[in-house]
């Protein structure tokens, strides 16, 4: 059967909802805290489900629960029809994948959702500055180590120049991706989620905008996401405002893009 892009998007969303439901059930059964993040939270608040043109689901789990989620999934993934794997081009962040790929006109797409660890962060001063710069530097090294797998997009003049120079100098061959990834994850665990005044998705795409006062997450609040009840940060309005500003305003049509990748 030949699928249009709109039909593919709907199929991706349907598959990801199934994965999300399975993850929610696992978290509830094992008393694992989780929160909707980024565009998933925005979709829940603004659209009561997916952002209509999006296929992305991001969930955050506090670090201790994140490690427990991994252990639980290792024991039950065969029975629940989903499995976990690191995303090797995204700092080895955990992905939860469905059992089957979607046949898109002879090419194949994997439905998955991202599970990010939530960690603590210094609240101010020199510790925050040093921590931020160390994370930023190691994020840059990681991306440079996988340049051949990174899409060519406009990142601004400075980053474009760094990427161009790195490709010319073949920096990728000099860097150990796995070693850098391990260093990043050790680094972001320096501050405990449960003992810090500021917390967040340290490896999120919005960087320090995703670091918020701990009470923004709090005990969480229930939000509708299509037919599911999804847990979001307790102060979701403040959280979304910090990341997106006027988040209820729709972006220009040319920016309404999905995230799926075709093999």
**Residue 39 is part of which domain span?**
1-120+199-263
Whether residues 180 and 221 share a domain: the answer is no
Q: Return the pLDDT at 10.
A: 92
Q: Are 262 and 111 in contact (CB under 8 A)?
A: no
Whether residues 129 and 115 share a domain: the answer is no
Provide the sign of the torsion angle of the four alpha carbons 155, 237, 15, 27, taken in this order. positive
Among residues 150, 166, 190, the one where a domain terminates is 190
Whether residues 137 and 148 share a domain: the answer is yes
Q: Are 51 and 91 in contact (CB under 8 A)?
A: no
Q: Return the pLDDT at 80.
A: 80
In which element (H, E) is residue 23 found?
Answer: helix 5-29
Q: Return the pLDDT at 259.
A: 65
Whether residues 217 and 239 share a domain: the answer is yes
Go through 121-139 and write b for each residue having 16 or more CB atoms within 10 A of its CB, e for each that does not: bbeeeeebeebbeebeebb
Whether residues 173 and 251 share a domain: the answer is no
Whether residues 108 and 61 share a domain: the answer is yes
Q: Are 192 and 118 in contact (CB under 8 A)?
A: no
Q: Return the pLDDT at 68.
A: 96
Dihedral angle at the C-alpha atoms of 66, 149, 133, 69, nearest 10 degrees? 0
> Residue 190 gets which letter from DSSP?
S
Nearest to 230 by CA among 19, 3, 5, 4: 19
Q: Return the pLDDT at 20.
A: 96
Whether residues 112 and 211 share a domain: the answer is yes
Whether residues 13 and 73 share a domain: the answer is yes
Look up residue 158 and give its two tokens. 């400075």
Whether residues 78 and 139 share a domain: the answer is no
**Beta strand 58-62 pairing with 107-121:** parallel
Tell me how far apart the alpha carbons of residues 212 and 197 are, in angstroms, rounded to a whole number: 8
111 dihedral zone (left: phi>0; alpha: psi -120 to 50; beta): beta
Whether residues 112 and 182 share a domain: the answer is no
Average pLDDT per run of 10 along the chain, which is 263 residues long? 82 94 95 97 97 94 96 87 90 91 85 96 94 94 81 54 66 85 96 97 94 97 97 98 95 74 50
Which 3 state secondary structure label does DSSP give 130? Answer: helix
Q: Are 217 and 33 in contact (CB under 8 A)?
A: no
Structurally, the chain folds into a number of domains equal to: 2
Whether residues 3 and 127 share a domain: the answer is no
Provide the sign of the torsion angle of the four alpha carbons 19, 210, 51, 248, taken in this order. positive
| Residue 206 Cα to chain centre, angstroms | 10
Q: Return the pLDDT at 159.
A: 60
Question: Following DSSP, what letter does each residue of 28-92 receive, concatenated?
Answer: HHTT---EE-HHHHHHHHHHSSS-TT----EEEEEHHHHHHHHHHHHHHHHHHTEEEEEETTTTT
Residue 45, domain CATH: 3.30.460
Among residues 190, 225, 246, the one where a domain terminates is 190
Whether residues 13 and 110 share a domain: the answer is yes
Q: Are 89 and 150 in contact (CB under 8 A)?
A: yes
Residue 59's beta-bridge partner residues?
Answer: 36, 115
């Amino acid at each position: 059967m030949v699928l249009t892009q709109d039909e593919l998007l709907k199929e991706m969303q349907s598959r990801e909802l199934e994965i999300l439901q399975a993850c929610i059930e696992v978290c509830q059964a094992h008393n694992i805290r989780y929160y909707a993040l980024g565009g998933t939270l925005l979709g829940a608040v603004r659209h009561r489900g997916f952002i209509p043109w999006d296929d992305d689901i991001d969930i955050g789990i506090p670090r201790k629960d994140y490690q427990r989620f991994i252990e639980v999934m290792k024991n039950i993934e065969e029975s629940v029809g989903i499995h976990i794997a690191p995303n090797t081009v995204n700092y080895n962040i955990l992905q939860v994948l469905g059992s089957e790929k979607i046949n898109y006109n002879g090419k194949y797409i994997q439905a998955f959702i991202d599970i990010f660890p939530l960690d603590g962060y210094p609240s101010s001063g020199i510790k925050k500055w040093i921590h931020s710069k160390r994370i930023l530097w190691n994020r840059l090294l990681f991306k440079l180590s996988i340049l051949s797998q990174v899409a060519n997009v406009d990142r601004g003049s400075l980053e474009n120049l760094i990427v161009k120079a790195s490709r010319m100098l073949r920096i990728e061959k000099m860097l150990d991706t796995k070693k850098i990834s391990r260093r990043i994850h050790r680094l972001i665990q320096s501050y405990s989620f449960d003992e810090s005044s500021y917390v967040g998705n340290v490896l999120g795409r919005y960087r320090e905008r995703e670091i918020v006062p701990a009470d923004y997450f709090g005990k969480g609040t229930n939000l509708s996401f299509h037919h599911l009840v999804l847990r979001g940060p307790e102060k979701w309005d403040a959280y979304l405002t910090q990341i997106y500003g006027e988040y209820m305003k729709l972006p220009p049509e040319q920016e309404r893009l999905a995230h799926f990748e075709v093999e």
